Amino acid sequence: MTDDPISSARRRAVRDVVPFVVAMAPFALVYGVAVADSSVNNVVGVSASWLMFAGAAQLSVLDSIDAGAAAWLTIATAVLINLRFGLYSAALAPAYSLYPLPKRMWLVYGMADQVAALVMVDRDPDEQPDAKLAYAMTCTTIIVCTWWVVSILGATVGATIPDGVDIGFAMPLMFLMLALPALRDRPSMVAGAVGATAAVVSKDL
Q: Is the pLDDT of residue 178 over 80?
A: no
Q: Is the pLDDT of residue 177 over 90?
A: no
Per-residue confidence band for 180, with pLDDT thresholds at 50, 70 and 90: low
Backbone angles phi, psi at 61, to 5 degrees: -65, -45
The 10s digit of each residue's pLDDT in 102-113 is 999 999 999 998
Cα separation, 15 vs 54, in Å, equals: 23
Q: Is the pLDDT of residue 181 over 70?
A: no
The 10s digit of each residue's pLDDT in 64-122 is 988 888 999 999 999 999 998 999 999 999 889 989 999 999 999 999 988 998 888 76
Give whole-number Cα distances, 54 to 33, 60, 88, 138, 149, in Å. Answer: 16, 10, 14, 19, 14
Nearest to 47 by CA among 35, 37, 57, 30: 35
Per-residue confidence band for 144, with pLDDT thresholds at 50, 70 and 90: very high
Cβ proximity of 35 and 59 under 8 Å: no
Range of the domain at 45: 5-201
- Count the Cβ atoms, other than its own, within 10 Å of residue 104: 16
Of residues 31 and 142, the one with the higher pLDDT is: 142
Nearest to 58 by CA among 82, 42, 89, 37: 82
Per-residue confidence band for 171, with pLDDT thresholds at 50, 70 and 90: low
Per-residue confidence band for 1, with pLDDT thresholds at 50, 70 and 90: very low
Cα separation, 131 vs 81, in Å, equals: 32
Count of domains for the chain: 1
The 10s digit of each residue's pLDDT in 41-62 is 889 999 999 988 888 899 889 8
Largest Cα–Cα distance of the chain, in whole Å? Answer: 63
Cα separation, 117 vs 101, in Å, equals: 22
The amino acid sitting at 51 is: L
Cα separation, 96 vs 34, in Å, equals: 34
